Amino acid sequence: MRIAIVEDDLNYQQQLQEYLCTYGQEHNLTFEVTIFSDGSEILPLKPNSFDIILLDVEMPKLDGMTTAEQIRKQDGEVVLMFITQMAQYAINGYAVGALDFVLKPLNYYTFSLRFARAVKRVEKQGRRELLLTLPERVVRVRTDQIYYIEVQNRMLHYYTDSEEYVCKGTMQKVEQELAGDHFVRCNHWYLVNLRHVSEVRREVVVVAGQELEISRRNRTAFLNALTDYVGGNQ
């Protein structure tokens, strides 16, 4: 899970890193942490670079609220948590879709409770990553960016929002890897990301504009999974 800390105070930077390390050890999670000293430093990065951003409100160049507004224009799903000395900023945080805030001075118990909510939100969004070993390179692909996966002649085709990746593998193995990430088979050859389903007709599911056949064998389980997914994300 990729975490950004945007904080100008070196002591708080270190404290937050220690808290993340402790939380990861307690919950068997691994975090890739990047530190920024001002909001202006994180904005040039590409959208979807982080899963959670811990954002200080008061910074010398670009304050946290303005930074959050700019981030939201590029990434509507990244989880934002404000780190602040003033509780009134929490109200303003709702305008930029902030999940929560943590008051300074920090203590681990409060931080861990707030951060647990952020982790659950990321898990629900399915913003996990897979490492795909291609013939000439290894790429990291976010699971929420995968539309669907197709198996052809013992090769897996990952159709994503950027390109198609092809590598060796079995549908059974990738289905196990993506367990809990809202991927469901619509037939023997396709594993569909439910978040990208836009329409279901009698024998067809539309995924990112593509029509995929729903087999009789998989139809009931697929529709039940889709209903549960939509119901849990309202």
Q: Three-class SS string for the chain?
A: CEEEEECCCHHHHHHHHHHHHHHHHHHCCCCEEEEECCHHHHCCCCCCCCCEEEEECCCCCCCHHHHHHHHHHHCCCCEEEEEECCCCHHHHHHHHCCCEEEECCCCHHHHHHHHHHHHHHHHHHCCCEEEEECCCCEEEEEHHHEEEEEEECCEEEEEECCCEEEEECCHHHHHHHCCCCCEEECCCCEEEEHHHEEEECCCEEEECCEEEECCHHHHHHHHHHHHHHHHHCC
Between 184 and 177, residue with greater pLDDT:
184
Please give the residue range of the domain that contains residue 50: 2-125
Residue 39 lies in a domain: yes
Q: How many domains does the chain have?
A: 2
87: confidence class by pLDDT, cuts 50, 70, 90: low
Task: Give the range among 54-63, 72-81, 141-150 with minimum mean pLDDT.
Answer: 72-81
Residue 153 falls inside a structural domain:
yes
Residues 168, 102 share a domain = no
Is position 130 within any domain? no
| Model confidence pLDDT, tens digit, residues 120-158 | 888 777 667 888 999 889 998 988 889 999 999 989 999
Closest CA to 77 of 50, 41, 104: 50
What pLDDT score does 234 carry? 38
Residue-wise burial string across 17-46, b where 16 or more C-beta atoms lie within 10 A, e elsewhere: bebbeebbeeeeeeeebeebbbbbbbbeee
pLDDT-derived band at 73 (thresholds 50, 70, 90) equals confident
Q: Domain with 207 in it: what CATH number?
A: 2.40.50.1020
Which has more confidence, 178 or 157? 157
Q: What is the mean pLDDT of residues 148-171?
A: 94
Instruction: Give the pLDDT score at 92.
Output: 60
Q: Does the pLDDT of residue 27 top 50, yes or no?
A: yes
Q: Which two tokens stand for residue 197?
A: 């389903």
pTM, whole model, 2 decimals? 0.61
**Same domain membership, residue 102 and residue 23:** yes
Higher pLDDT pick, 232 / 118: 118
User: Across the chain, what does the average pLDDT equal?
Assistant: 89
pLDDT for the residue 127: 64
